Chain A
Amino acid sequence: MSEEVLARMRRKFFPLYLIGLLASLIFLAHLVLNYIYTGKEQYLTLSMLTGLFSAYLAYSLAKLLRTKIPIYSYRKVVRCTQCGYEEEAEAKGGEILFENAGSCPKCGGEMIVQKIYRKKQLKGILG
């Protein structure tokens, strides 16, 4: 949940970075064209500065898009105490480790909850 809050906070910057990057790239193209057609050095100096700013924005945007948030799911493994047959399913809550989990579909033996664990999956920041 804290990861989601952080992602939500960072996601707000996405349009800002995108618009900023597009604007600076257009401005950069304008400066470069001006330099090519006029040959004035101040356009070159300004285009270098704008280029650096565009690179910074592109880097920030890439960093934002690379951010992954973990999503957790809960699993349980039930095992037959006689034949060792195993089944894995989602743990919905309230499961108890080493408690009886019915009878084995293969041999009819006692099945117990052998493992309960959380599984991590990564999701992109934009969902």
Chain B
Amino acid sequence: MNQGSFIDAIVWFIMLTILFYLNREIEIMRLVGEIEGYLRLYKAVRDKALATTLADFKSVISKKGVEGIDIKLVEKRIKDLVELVFISPTDLDPFGIVRKIKHLLLTSEKTLKKELKSFVPSASDAEIENTLNLLEATRALNFIYKVVNHIYMIGRKFKSLWILMQLDAQLPFITEEVRALEGAIEAFSKGLPVGDSVGPIVAASLIRKYCKQEEIIEEVENTIIAKGVFKNRIIYVIKAKGPGGTVGHLDDALEWVINNAGRVDAIITVDAALKLEGEETGSVAEGFGVAIGGIGVEKFNIEELATKHNVPLYAVLIKMSEEEALSVIDEKLYEGIEKAIANVERFIKTRTPENGIIAIIGVGNTIGVAP
């Protein structure tokens, strides 16, 4: 039987090597094509977001009839603000870092508002807040595009299959986030409530049901506190002041309530929560603790206050996807809002003493929600 010569074996070996090499090259080509497609998508969304932000601010300028303004300068400033960077305080010594982050957030927010207001002094707070929200979403989209492009270019430069594969595996999650931010651009430019507004909508519904107009005060900037009565308990409903796109200063408002009421017997927070795939949009979960997202400054401060005054913390969560949280509110979420209101009322009836004082906090962006 002819078993083949040594030369045959070498030829086979070379052919196999070439095949393996080609397979790798084809795989890289496939990944590059796929990533480039997504990058084109991210760039298109980023560019549209920037155009929307500019158009929105220009419409505020023309609506207010501001004269003698250099539109090119405004455009340049808006483009510069999209590249804005927030530098987190150092955590080498973490003691007091929450205070430092809060200081950074407050001062940067104030400065940005002041700068935008300097272009259109007659613009309302809601208009400035909506433009700031648009800017924030555009900045996030710009950052995502740049980071994905950076990793892609490094992977391509070094022909690294592993870098490209890792990036490709992350793309579905990144695309989900891009779609969410894209929905936010649409919502903020129209000034309509988003999925994340469910907390403020629950709070506004409770204010309409149990509080009088004259009992609504704004002791803390951008945040309203409404006092009312429910089942022989005094309730303080706290939410960001609408209808501008703001999240308020809920921790400061709670501190004001505790200092003025003397005590609080329960703190109930209502917020949007990210659902897992397979979970129903608008389903409601209850829990213990502070339901609040973001960097964690307000969460930390509310937990500190609750611990200091020995107040139980209850939470009501309305489930939704990331895209639903940032896009104009879905109809299904109104069912969740009804359930959340019923849960808050049940908590008050069953878990708090008669004549008790209860703080209810509607957490989230209050865009398009009054008061």
Contacts and interface: CB of A to CB of B under 8 A. Distances in A.
Contacts of A126: none
B331 A117 contact: yes
Contacts of A6: 41
16 contacts: A1-B44, A2-B175, A6-B41, A72-B327, A91-B190, A93-B191, A95-B368, A96-B370, A97-B369, A97-B370, A98-B208, A98-B371, A116-B328, A117-B329, A118-B327, A118-B330
A116 B330 contact: no
Nearest to B38: A6
A74 B331 CA distance: 10
Interface in A86-124: 91-99, 115-119
A92 B327 CA distance: 15
B240 interface: no
Interface string B232-272: 00000000001100000000000000000000000000000
A95 B192 contact: yes
Contacts of B175: 2
Nearest to A91: B192
Contact of B368 (A1, A116, A118): A116
B171 to A, nearest CB: 12
Contacts of B41: 2, 5-6, 9
B334 A115 contact: yes
B328 A72 contact: yes
A92 B368 CA distance: 13
A31 to B, nearest CB: 27
Given A95-B368, A97-B201, A116-B368, A1 B48 contact: yes
Interface string A1-29: 11001100100000000000000000000
B178 interface: yes
B294 interface: no
Size bin of chain B's contact surface: 20 to 34
Contacts of A2: 41, 44-45, 175, 178-179, 182
B190 A94 contact: yes
A123 B371 CA distance: 37
Interface in B171-208: 175, 178-179, 182, 186, 189-193, 197, 201, 204-205, 208
Nearest to B327: A118
B40 interface: yes
B331 A119 contact: yes
Contacts of B330: 117-118
Interface of B: 37, 40-41, 44-45, 48, 175, 178-179, 182, 186, 189-193, 197, 201, 204-205, 208, 242-243, 327-331, 333-334, 368-371
A10 to B, nearest CB: 9
**Which 8 A-B pairs have CB atoms at the shortest separation, nearest pair first?**
A93-B190, A118-B328, A117-B331, A96-B243, A97-B369, A5-B44, A98-B370, A96-B370
Nearest to B43: A5
B369 A9 contact: no
A73 to B, nearest CB: 10
Most chain-B Cβ atoms within 10 A of its Cβ — which of A2, A94, A95, A115?
A2
B182 A93 contact: no
Contacts of A9: 37, 40-41
A115 B328 CA distance: 11
Most chain-B Cβ atoms within 10 A of its Cβ — which of A2, A5, A97?
A97
A74 B190 contact: yes
Contacts of A119: 331
Contact of A96 (B40, B178, B179, B368): B368
B334 A74 contact: no
Given A96-B243, A118-B328, A1 B45 contact: yes
A57 B192 CA distance: 44
A65 B213 CA distance: 55
